[in-house]
Structure 1
Amino acid sequence: MKDAFGTPQSLLVLGGTSEIGLATARRLVARRARTVWLAGRPSPALEAAAGQLRRLGADVHTVAFDALDSASHEEVLGKVFAEGDIDMVLLAFGLLGDQANDEADPMAAVRVAQTNYTGAVSAGLVCANALQGQGHGSLVVLSSVAGERARRANFIYGSSKAGLDAFTQGLGDALVGTGVHVMIVRPGFVRTKMTEGLQEAPLATTPEAVATAIEAGLRRRAEVVWVPGTLRAVMSALRHVPRPLFRRLPI
């Protein structure tokens, strides 16, 4: 169960090598989280991430999880929840893709869409049902400002995040009154290995800043968290820019 301050004591990270996911886990372990499940494809990186959290004092387990293997999600994640209640699930997996390459290779584009949307819908519903069965817990989903309005530069990734964002909002509405809290996190450009080498966008942020915002959002049971917060106003304005003008913006 969460402590008196609303801090999770048990955490499941879907996307166990995600830099944002691990930054969030470190932050919560530094508070009161003691049990952490890292779900991801078996790899030295997943084991290294588990070892790092163990050195911080957490009881860490790894579980083989593939976002693209939706048929396995119910069994794999069900085993995690069978071990005990989970206070928070962080859906942190995602694939940025390569826009130019993916436009020329439809199957590569489909992989981005299946990872970011189909896989997330499957895993999100499995975890939401398990949390509802507990009668408590938070489901935190990493969306993106890229889903707020499709841009020429990354409309494949952006459209997948737009779908995920809409799904999460609807899921949150469906779970009102069940004891389950659903929170969407919309970061802007985050400095990670995934974005290394890309031109940095304005208002760029870090995994640690996103983790701080997630913790603050949990405490106030927010439904939507923007990182940085300034992006809320920026995106509100951009949503209403006429398309002919929007196409000419250097974004």
Structure 2
Amino acid sequence: MKDAFGAPQSLLVLGGTSEIGLATARRLVARRTRTVWLAGRPSPALTAAAQSLRDLGAEVHTVPFDALDTASHEERLGKLFTEGDIDMVLLAFGVLGDQTHDEDEPLAAVRVAQTNYTGAVSAGLVCAKALQSQGHGSLVVLSSVAGERARRANFIYGSSKAGLDAFAQGLGDALHGTGVHVMVVRPGFVRTKMTRGLAEAPLATTPEAVALAVELGLRRRAETVWVPGALRVVMSALRHVPRPLFRRLPL
């Protein structure tokens, strides 16, 4: 169960090698989180991530998980909840893709969509059902400001995040009053291995800043969190820019 301050004592990270996911786990372990499950493809990186959290004093387990293997989600993820309550699920997996390449290779674009949207819908519903059955918990979904309005530079990735964001918002409405809290996190450009080598966007942030925003959002039981907060105003303005003008912007 969460403590009196709303901090989770147990955490499941879907995307166990995600830099944002691990930064969030480290921050929560430094507070009151004692048990962590890292779900991801078995790899040296997943093993190292688990050990790094054990070094901070947490009890850590790794769980085989593949976003694209949706047929296995109910069995593998559902089983975790039969072993005890989980206070928080962080849906942190996703791929950026390569817009130029993916436009020419539709199967590559489909993989981006399947990972970021289809895989997330599957895993999100399995975890939401389990959280509802136990009567409490938070599902935190890492979305992106890229989903607010499709841009020429990354509309494949952006469209997958738009779908994820709409799904998560609707799921939060569906679970209202059940004891389950759904929080959508919309970071801007985050400095990670995934974005290394890309031109940095204004208001760029870090995994640690996103982790802090997640922690504060949990305390407030926020439903939507922007990182940094100024992006709420920026994206609101961009949504209302007339399309002919929007096409001329260097985005």
TM-score in same-fold range (> 0.5): yes
Identity of aligned residues (%): 87
- Alignment-mate amino acid for residue 201 of structure 2: A
Partner of 1:61: 61
CA-CA distance at 1:137 after TM superposition: 0.1
Secondary structure, counterpart of 1:12 in structure 2:
strand
> For residues 41 and 229 of structure 2, what CA distance do their matches in structure 1 show?
32
Spell out the pairing of 1:32-181 with structure 2 (5 A cutoff).
32-181=32-181
Q: Scaled by the length of structure 2, what TM-score is found?
A: 1.00
Q: Which runs of 5+ in 1 are unaligned?
A: none
**Residue type of the partner of 2:83?**
E
CA deviation after TM superposition for structure 1 residue 250, in Å: 1.2
- What's the CA shift string for 1:46-104, capped at 9, x where partnerless? 00000000000000000000000000000000121111100000000001000000000
- AA aligned to 1:236 is S
> SS at 1:60's partner residue?
strand
Unaligned runs of 5+ in 2: none
Amino acid across the alignment from 1:82: T
Measured in 2, the distance between the counterparts of 1:107 and 1:134 equals 39
Residue identity matched to 2:30 = A
> RMSD in angstroms over aligned alpha carbons?
0.3
Whole-Å separation in 2 of the counterparts to 1:12 and 1:35: 9
Displacement of 1:39 in angstroms is 0.1
Q: Tell me the distance in 2 between the aligned counterparts of 1:83 and 1:56.
A: 23
Compute the displacement of 1:121 (Å).
Answer: 0.1
Q: Deviation string for 1:102-160 (max 9, x for gaps)? A: 00000000000000000000000000000000000000000000000000000000000
Aligned to 1:5: 5
Q: Which residue of 2 aligns with 1:16?
A: 16
Which letter does structure 1 place at the counterpart of 2:37? W
What SS is found at the alignment partner of 1:25? helix
Aligned residues: 251
Displacement, 1:45? 0.1
TM-score (structure 1 length as normaliser): 1.00
Aligned equivalents of 2:247, 2:90: Cα separation in 1: 34
Residues of 2 paired with 1:38 and 1:123: CA distance? 14
- Residue 248 of structure 1 aligns to a residue whose secondary structure is coil
Runs of 4+ aligned residues of structure 1 deviating over 4 Å after TM superposition are: none
Amino acid at match of 2:164: L
3-state SS of the aligned residue for 2:247? helix
